[in-house]
Amino acid sequence: MSAVLNDTIPLDPDPSVRVVAGLPASRNYWMVVLRQLRQEPVGVISATLLLLIIAAAVFAPWLAPADPYKASMLRRLLPVGSPDHWLGTDELGRDMLTRLMYGGRLSLLMGVVPVLAAFGIGTSIGLLAGYLGGRVNMVIMRMLDVFYAFPSVLLAVAIAGALGPGMSNSLIALTLVFVPQLVRVAESVTTQVRKLDYIEAARMSGASAFSIIRVHVLGNVLGPVFVYATGLLSVSMILGSGLSFLGLGVKPPEPEWGLMLNTLRSAIYREPLIAALPGAMIFMTSIAFNLLADGVRSAMDIKR
């Protein structure tokens, strides 16, 4: 984690970055990050692919060629390339291209919302535990250590199973899975930052704990936590699709990639390409999230 801290407070920053009280000015810092991110070809390609997937999901009502819920038993499992159904139809005769476009809405929602919620909750708890230290830190971190006794997949299934099937319960389950991980990152960075000289100077000047955290500590903590959170986006989407595949997430007939994988299992021997399409979308989106996270992590290393 010391390496993360060194990346946040560079010893020899870029000359274009103005350093104030150990922190780069936010505007100049993010300009440098954006410039470096644009120089990462893999990150740019991943971001472009994600934008296309997001645009297709957002504008699905205007772009989709058919009704995602309209079934036709006469058109069941039409192959890819069929007239009026470019990607074929599913087990109920519904247009696959339309279902995939609409399915991206819920799948992306399952990937982004839990991470955003866990980012806010985990950063707040980690800041509190790291800055106060002592018994407060010990109690919070020992309570969260319980979650590390279980793999993320099993923990998500257990929480979702206890809460019951449904999208809202799946979002809660995924959020609870990611909170301990983000708390640990935020707490580790905060524990190191609060020992720096300018933090001690602010404390001796009579500044309140809230003011010190907001002005001096938060800027150092957000960077590492944000980078770690971007890497969780693909994990969240895969776990959300897995919950829907197991019947603990989105309910039929809503289009969602994990649920579509489940309902198309019986078609894998007749039309394997159609049965694989939802999995291909999950794979491409998760890979794009991972590569974009790597690009952001590299771009935020302003020592380069």
pLDDT tens per residue, range 236-256: 999 999 999 999 999 888 999
Domain-located, residue 91: yes
C-alpha 184/C-alpha 169 separation (Å) is 24
Range of the domain at 182: 67-290
pLDDT value for 39: 80
Return the ∠ at Cα 241 (arms to 235 and 244), rounded to 5°.
140
- pLDDT at 170 exceeding the cut of 90: yes
Whether the CB-CB separation of 106 and 167 falls below 8 Å is answered with yes
Domain count, the chain: 1
pTM of the model: 0.84
Domain-located, residue 248: yes
C-alpha 161/C-alpha 251 separation (Å) is 14
Within 10 A of 202 (CB to CB), how many other CB atoms are there?
Answer: 18
Which domain CATH number covers 210? 1.10.3720.10
Reference 123, options 177, 193, 190; nearest CA is 190
Domain-located, residue 6: no
Domain-located, residue 252: yes
Whether the CB-CB separation of 125 and 213 falls below 8 Å is answered with no
Domain-located, residue 23: no
- pLDDT at 116 exceeding the cut of 90: yes
Distance of CA 143 to the CA centre of its chain: 24
C-alpha 159/C-alpha 163 separation (Å) is 6
SS3 (DSSP) at 96: helix
Using 50, 70 and 90 to split pLDDT, how confident is the model at 301? low
Domain-located, residue 19: no
Domain-located, residue 247: yes
- pLDDT at 10 exceeding the cut of 50: no
C-alpha 100/C-alpha 53 separation (Å) is 10
Q: What is the mean pLDDT of the chain?
A: 84
Domain-located, residue 238: yes
